[in-house]
Structure 1
């Protein structure tokens, strides 16, 4: 009888342990996205598009960094349309991602959808491009470049390298996507830098939408309307590369007959600079992925982050481009 009672006691104890384990397992299956838990964090990212070599490198950096950081990335390509980005952000909200990040197509028109994300308790990070919302609580931080500074650096180089010019210096400007932060800010910085020199005059300025095709098309128009062009300022390398084709087709030598200043410093642009077809590039690094993943983890955990985080960048002349090209990552 003592043996039977002992056996029954052991069986009862084992059943109790199994029941407790089952209850614990059920409880662990629903952590509700607790930032302190071990669940994989989900990041919804809406990209502007694939309009340039810079944007392609930016997308690659984000995807690779997410995989390395163990973050589940839900990626959307807006194809340079604001309505597509707004739709993507609303989809991210419905999917209850942990963090939303996006590079805005244009600066204006985001308040409504960003408030929806805020009301859903999902923090938002702006990357590469800013928005003009007066309500700074709609997003946690901005990660990217100082576009005004980039335009200013381009203008300062031109002022220094045309100081000996006695007559007018006619400039044409290939702007980025109309209404976008880089287009607005680079234009502003460049204009501020050349304002003190009355010889430097912008005779035409038009959007090439940050694309090579757009740069070529608009440059063709510039050349027909303004036969005496001395300088081209392109808001990115790709538009400058497209303009090269138009300049060459018009029988003029890029880099000599027309000085070419661009922004970005992607590999194709750097090669054009090394070859003497471009004259100066202000860098804008697309490799934001690692910094973005670090920020996403911090805001998901409820940590305080700076309102603005700028990337470290430089400028390039022909010789500097030659030296940098062998190790260029994009």
Structure 2
């Protein structure tokens, strides 16, 4: 990810349940393991009898693939200049290909707001049935979402939240506060019986709301473990280079600690380089986001990296399922409501050596 660009994760996403800090996102929220997030969407139905689904190629749950009303879904996202964003596009494309009744019209993607607005306006002019939009800048794209909704095209706002709830029919995103909470709980359980345990934090870009939320979730979790102290925090920039440089500084300043919470697996690649160069093996590391490289390292169990907390790019596959259901006038299986929810927040599962094989198909490069 370019040094000064917005990170692959939501730069304005609102976390988890309404009680969580910083969240004003409306609507019904759902939690579930990242791999099973789309299980909520299994068997998208109207009044049709349910049948067993054909398993997806990667064995993850998939919605009812029986042909229904044909739906054209417009998909607009930012430029895929980061592994997570590229995985977002791939998950959307692969999901759409599972349906014979879905046509996916995907833009090239751009980090330039004016360009992305123009791309979405083209999709509106084509009169697509549903729009899925991952904005380069949620606030800047709000008026475009409003315009689509006014034109009668329902919008699914993916990850980076619009400034107005009226700009979309449904929000689908990850849980930044929940990432920190899950990381803190995992580390807390590992160290709860160690007197005087110390932890450090390698955060993301401090000017971003998502970084603040991840730190806040982490700190809130650690409050449940009074014997554990966070002794240092260093902000990086979601890049390999910054991860290596900032981790080297942490290692020099902190000659002894027991655990590290790193916000992003891309910068974690650099962090692991710094750890190896320093010859340190005296602590455990928890990463963030769910990169394939992190999962491979966890499975190999040959480094300090023992877990990563997901920010699942499978959310775009869920968005395609929801868009199809919207276009066909259906609800989703597993809940009583006749309509799709107003909001779907994915759970930040912790991937460890014990469950890594389940999550490997979701790991992004």
**TM-score normalized by the length of structure 2:** 0.65
Answer yes or no: is the 8 Å Cα contact 1:151–1:186 preserved in 2.
Answer: yes
CA distance in 1, matches of 2:263, 2:138: 16
Aligned position for 1:117: 148
Aligned position for 1:92: 123
Q: Which has the higher contact order (CA 8 A, sep 6+)?
A: 2
- CA-atom RMSD, angstroms? 3.2
- Correspondence 1:166 to 2:198: no
Q: Secondary structure at the match of 2:132?
A: strand
Deviations 1:139-163 (A, max 9, x none): 1112233332232111011112222
Answer yes or no: is the 8 Å Cα contact 2:131–2:156 preserved in 1.
Answer: yes
Aligned residues: 283
CA distance in 2, matches of 1:293, 1:150: 24
Please list every run of 5 or more consecutive structure 1 residues that lacks an aligned counterpart in the other structure.
1-36
Aligned position for 2:57: none
Answer yes or no: is the 8 Å Cα contact 2:75–2:106 preserved in 1.
Answer: yes
Distance 1:230 1:91, change over 3 A: farther
Aligned position for 1:34: none
Please list every run of 5 or more consecutive structure 2 residues that lacks an aligned counterpart in the other structure.
1-67, 331-338
Aligned position for 1:46: 77
CA distance in 2, matches of 1:104, 1:200: 38
- Correspondence 1:205 to 2:250: no
Deviations 1:193-246 (A, max 9, x none): 01343642252231423x334422432344455555543212232222221012
Aligned position for 1:271: 296
Aligned position for 1:190: 218
Aligned position for 1:64: 94
Distance 1:132 1:43, change over 3 A: closer
1:116 CA displacement: 2.7
Distance 1:199 1:48, change over 3 A: farther
1:306 CA displacement: 0.4
Aligned position for 1:295: 322
1:178 CA displacement: 4.6
> Which protein has the larger Cα radius of gyration, Structure 1 or Structure 2?
1
Aligned position for 1:317: 352
Q: Secondary structure at the match of 2:202?
A: strand
Higher helix share: 1
Distance 1:48 1:188, change over 3 A: farther
Deviations 1:25-72 (A, max 9, x none): xxxxxxxxxxxx9765141321463312x4333321111222332313
Aligned position for 1:244: 272
Q: Secondary structure at the match of 1:281?
A: strand
CA distance in 1, matches of 2:222, 2:171: 28
Answer yes or no: is the 8 Å Cα contact 2:290–2:308 preserved in 1.
Answer: yes
CA distance in 2, matches of 1:178, 1:68: 39
Aligned partner (choices 283, 286, 294) of residue 261 of structure 1: 286
Q: Secondary structure at the match of 1:306?
A: coil
